[in-house]
Amino acid sequence: MEEYGQWLKSAQGQVDGAFLATENNLIFAEYADGRTAWRVTATLTLPRGRHIATLDYISPSDTLLDDVEAAEQLVVRKVYCYAGVGPDGNPVVSRPFAPLPLLSYLPLVTKEPVPIEPIVCQYCGMVIMDYVGGQVTLPASRVAALTQEHWGEALCYGCSSKRSSQEAAKSKW
Amino acid sequence: MVISVGKSYDFKTSLRIGARASNAVQERFILSGWAVENVEGLPLFRALDIDFIVGAPGCGVFTVEVKGDQSAHATKNIYIETSSNDSTGSLGCLIYSRADYIAYYVMGAGACLMIPRKELQSWIARRIDDFTSVTIQAHATAKSSGTPVPIRVIKAEVPGCYLLYDLPVLGVE
């Protein structure tokens, strides 16, 4: 969590009617109607020195504002905020806001094929495993389908990575 | 990531345009509640021209290739690159990519045209000869061939195509 601290540390002050303070990757805001705290869970760097942060809403309770350890135990829902440099050159954080409605119609054209039998890599003979990323897992059936479409063989992630590296090296020569 | 432009750009400028498009599309997905895994640097996904794996619980997983275009806002055309380097015969990104969606980011308009890749490729096979082909100096050392097609034609004729707009910046610029 330490990596988010740098821009948060200095980003505090009066924003959008709320006083924002930051400490240990937590954002505290005091609005006219009460206090709230959020914990930063991820950041994405944007153009023009901006960041977007994913926050876990912690609690509106006054007592938690002084108790960082207790606050970290209570996660209720996810929100977002923007952070960056304001017009006066000082760091600022926007008032946290809820996610937009999910674009649920997006994957309708890309339904996952459901494998009936385990998929075996045609190169190394191992059962093809899901590609597990930091946030999203690409099902094994999709990895196999992609390599089948591209190279005519259903390959596991490891073998397909080796093959693509070899082909890239060949094309240089 | 390939940048389709009407004039020559140096390598650094192309990278900057690509990074801007990539960030804007990633931001839009994250704010809509999707988890995004950036796989641009991984060999398999580089070979398949896939930039992101996007997923949400219960909504499936799909893959996205981002393409940034700085001229489309003025020309109102999408550049369908059939060959990215005429001297080596490399195929253009829209022909070559294996992503589920092409996210065609139009700089200046703050809009992204989400195009289902398979539908786009079958549309290209049927209709590309109805439009005029051009050769451009894509980079200082490479010429590319392709066909500019009006955005409204793609939007009307490729099934499952729709526009995503950037969000207003909330409190931070």
Of B39, B116, B170, the CB nearest to A97: B170
Helix, strand, or coil here: A101? coil
User: What stretches of chain B adopt beta strand conformation (E)?
Assistant: 35-38, 52-56, 60-69, 77-85, 90-91, 101-106, 111-116, 134-139, 142-150, 162-165
How do residues A118-169 score in pLDDT, each as one tens digit? 889 989 998 888 888 877 888 888 888 889 888 899 998 889 888 888 887 7
Of B24, B44, B172, the CB nearest to A82: B172
pLDDT confidence of residue A68: 55
Q: What is the mean pLDDT of residues A55-60?
A: 65
pLDDT confidence of residue B169: 45
Which of A24-33, A53-62, B36-45 has the largest mean confidence? Answer: B36-45
Locate the chain B residue with the closest alpha carbon to A98: B31
Nearest Cα to A164, choosing from A156, B159, A128? A156
Q: What is the mean pLDDT of each run of 10 residues along chain B (173 residues)?
A: 49 78 84 83 89 82 90 87 74 84 87 89 90 78 83 90 64 35
Q: Is B21 on the interface with A (CB under 8 A)?
A: no
The Cα–Cα gap between A161 and B117 comes to: 22
The Cα–Cα gap between A145 and A158 comes to: 15
Give the distance from residue A146's alpha carbon to the nearest chain B alpha carbon, in angstroms.
Answer: 7
pLDDT confidence of residue A85: 63
Give the distance from residue B134's alpha carbon to the nearest chain A alpha carbon, in angstroms.
Answer: 26
Q: What is the DSSP string of A43-78?
A: EEE-STT-EEEEEEEEE--TGGGG-HHHHHH---EE
A contacts of B24 (beta carbons < 8 Å): 47
A contacts of B62 (beta carbons < 8 Å): 106-107, 110
pLDDT confidence of residue B149: 92
Nearest Cα to A107, choosing from B36, B55, B66, B35? B55
The pairing of strands A51-59 and A34-45 is antiparallel
Of A135, A139, A160, the CB nearest to B35: A135
Task: Tell me whether residues B172 and A50 touch, CB distance under 8 A.
Answer: yes
pLDDT confidence of residue A119: 85
Per-residue pLDDT at A65 exceeds 70: no
B contacts of A159 (beta carbons < 8 Å): none
Give the distance from residue B18's alpha carbon to the nearest chain A alpha carbon, in angstroms.
Answer: 12
Q: Best of B26, B28, B29, B44 to disrupt the A interface by mutation (most A CBs within 10 Å)?
A: B44
Q: Is B91 on the interface with A (CB under 8 A)?
A: no
How do residues A85-120 score in pLDDT, each as one tens digit? 666 666 666 666 666 655 545 554 455 556 667 889
Does pTM top 0.80 for this prediction?
no
Q: What is the mean pLDDT of residues A33-48?
A: 67
Task: Tell me whether residues B43 and A164 touch, CB distance under 8 A.
Answer: yes
Per-residue pLDDT at A19 exceeds 50: yes
